[in-house]
Amino acid sequence: MENDAQRPAIGAFWMIVTGLCFVAVTAIVKFNGTRIPAAEAAFLRYALGLVFLLPMLTTLRSTTFTPRLWGIITARGAFHTVGVTLWFFAMTQISIAEVTAMNYLSPVYVTIAAALFLGEKLAFRRILAVLCALVGAIIILRPGFRELNMGHFAMLFTAIMFCGSYLTAKMLADALPASVVVAMLSIAVAIGLAPMAYAVWIPPTLGEVGLLFAVACFATAGHYTMTLAFAAAPLTVTQPVTFLQLVWAVSLGYFAFGEEVDIWVMIGGFLILSSVSFITWREAVLKRKAVTPTHIETKL
């Protein structure tokens, strides 16, 4: 029987692997360049990723979907479709480190939205944590001290869209198996992106298709290893490990793509992730059902 003392270490290990998978996603998208429009690249990532749903066809066919569930699935698909397109666009405009750090904002938005729309109590400590995260975002962007481009604004709205996707996913999770929720998101996003991709379609090369299939593979693997991490250890153990993803993103940008190391992005990202980790810890201490996700749960 496995030693319980080793479980946190196993959870941390799988979260490290998860972070590497998602850093690989950003690296491949960055390497793929700007020739393929963002909407088309996002569509190919999800369309090619549908191959991973083949083992689930029987489960999907046997699942009953009510009109209310279809409405929530559609809403979630719309949120995620816009978010994914903005994320792919941002990757072509700003550094990998900035994209990674600003993506940490999604769980913060979830905390705020849960208080506004779901009646979640926003205690004083959580308010301070949210304010700390927003300060982190200001440190990253530094408005007035440098020129912001459309990539920065795209990432701000990406985090908002992923927040909407996560909250609607929580609604679906009460009625459907997790595997079905994930599968329906992939299908809905592929359908939602199809007309957007058609409008800007450029015939991709075989190499570009291969790279975007690799994106789908790493994203799928990342979500799988994230599940293993959550099963092995509590969020209070796995959440702080996710900061390594920012370190890897900065290193990758510097060594592979010649991007400058911006200490302000590191500081801002650390503040945001620290805030999310604190909120997660408080939910664990209070032993209630978590509303705030890890930032990785709001990934592609």
Tell me: the pLDDT tens digits for 196-247?
A: 999 999 999 999 999 999 999 999 998 888 888 878 887 777 777 888 889 9
Residue 151: pLDDT band with limits 50, 70, 90 = very high
Scan for tokens 């270490």, then name that residue: 9
Backbone phi, psi, residue 123, to 5°: -70, 165
Quote the pTM value: 0.89
- Percent of the chain, pLDDT > 70? 92
Assign 283 a pLDDT band (cuts: 50, 70, 90): confident
pLDDT of residue 39: 96
* pLDDT value of position 297: 66
State the residue range of the domain holding 39. Answer: 4-298
Report residue 42's pLDDT band, with 50, 70 and 90 as the boundaries. Answer: very high
Mean model confidence pLDDT for the chain? 89
Which tens digits make up the pLDDT trace of 71-109? 999 999 999 999 999 999 999 999 999 999 999 899 889
Number of domains in the chain: 1
Give the Cα separation of 86 and 51 in Å (integer): 24
Q: Using the predicted structure, report yes or no on whether residue 70 has a pLDDT greater than 80.
A: yes
The pLDDT of residue 1 is: 45
Confidence of residue 256 (pLDDT cuts 50, 70, 90): very high
289 falls in which pLDDT band (50, 70, 90)?
A: low
Q: Are 115 and 283 in contact (CB under 8 A)?
A: no
Length of the chain: 300
Nearest to 130 by CA among 116, 118, 142, 141: 116
Give the pLDDT of residue 5: 45
Q: Which of 295, 299, 286, 300 is nearest to 126 (CA)?
A: 286
The average pLDDT across 123-147 equals 91
The most confident of 117-126, 176-185, 211-220, 243-252, by mean pLDDT: 211-220
Q: CA torsion, points 155, 156, 161, 164, in degrees to nearest 10?
A: 140
pLDDT of residue 296: 63
CA atoms within 13 A on the CB side of 13: 6
Which CA distances in Å does 293 have to 139, 145, 154, 253, 279? 23, 32, 21, 26, 10
At 272, the pLDDT band (50, 70, 90 cuts) reads: very high
- Please, how many CA atoms are within 13 Å of residue 283, restricted to the half-sphere of its CB? 23
